Amino acid sequence: MFNFKEDKDHATHEEVDVLTDTGTPYQLIVWNDEVNTFEWVIETLITVCGHEPEQAEQCAMFIHTKGKYGVKSGEYDELKPMCDAITDRGIGATIEITA
């Protein structure tokens, strides 16, 4: 991006860096299955991801109706231990790059 400046004798320009992407690059995806109960998924999201009960309940409903849902966004190194903890509890989870 260029930023144009004018003085009284002549116009000049300088190159300016612009930050275009401030979003987090990864999402923790939890997958629906026919084994785990709503209560177990909700408890897991509260314990592992730090969700409030209402937020965990909403995520569980999205997981159930959509088949999967991004329950947390962040850096890979932040999400990896959460993903491992969720899968250790028998719930399907993956980390995906956000588009």
Give pLDDT tens digits for 32-84.
Answer: 999 999 999 999 999 999 999 999 999 999 999 999 999 999 999 999 999 99
One-letter amino acid identity for 4? Answer: F
- Residue 26 CB coordination number (10 Å): 20
DSSP β-bridge partners for residue 69: 30
Rounded to two decimals, the pTM is 0.76
**Which domains are present in the chain?**
19-97 (3.30.1390.10)
CA 64 to chain centre: 18
d(CA 29, CA 21): 21
Short-list 78, 43, 84, 85, CA closest to 60: 43
